[in-house]
Amino acid sequence: MPSLHTINRWTYRLLRLCMAGVFMYSGVIKLLDVKGFANMVSQYGLVPDPLLASVAIGLPVIELLAGVGLLFEIPGALTAISGMLMMFIFVLWYGVLKNLDIDCGCFSTEELKGQDSLRKALYRDFVMVAVCCYLYLFRFFQHRRGQRLDAGSMFIKIV
């Protein structure tokens, strides 16, 4: 029977891979339709027009890079993802409070529009923040035990 530590290690890996996949997918989808993503961002009214193109390109690139970083356990990737999630929560919360009837802009330009869409995205982001907390806690306890996280961290140490 597998030990609790083994189960936790596999849970950590699975959650890390899922989070990496979500951010890589999200970044690629947005980069494939930069104009559509820029239109969605502009509907929130939080980004000045001169910065819209930079945000519409830069944010998906950062999402993609952070996802790849988390996939390979590159230091700072989980922090970048956590920071983006906090920013997304703020923006979604703003949209809900303002009763904006728009798409959240999270994964595509074809998502359902409306208040309910923003609320669902907000709840989804809270779940992803909880996953990030689990990943941080696992790393903390692994570090206290003096153990490597997995092959990904070994790869980083070799390179």
pLDDT in tens, 88-122: 999 999 999 999 988 888 886 565 555 578 999 99
pLDDT at res. 112: 53
Identify the CA nearest to 30 among candidates 74, 75, 63. 63
125 CA to centre of own chain: 8
36 CA to centre of own chain: 20
Which CA distances in Å does 77 have to 80, 82, 96, 117? 5, 9, 28, 27
pLDDT at res. 108: 67
| 150 has a pLDDT exceeding 80 | no
pLDDT in tens, 61-92: 999 999 999 999 999 999 999 999 999 999 99
Domain layout of the chain by residue ranges: 14-158
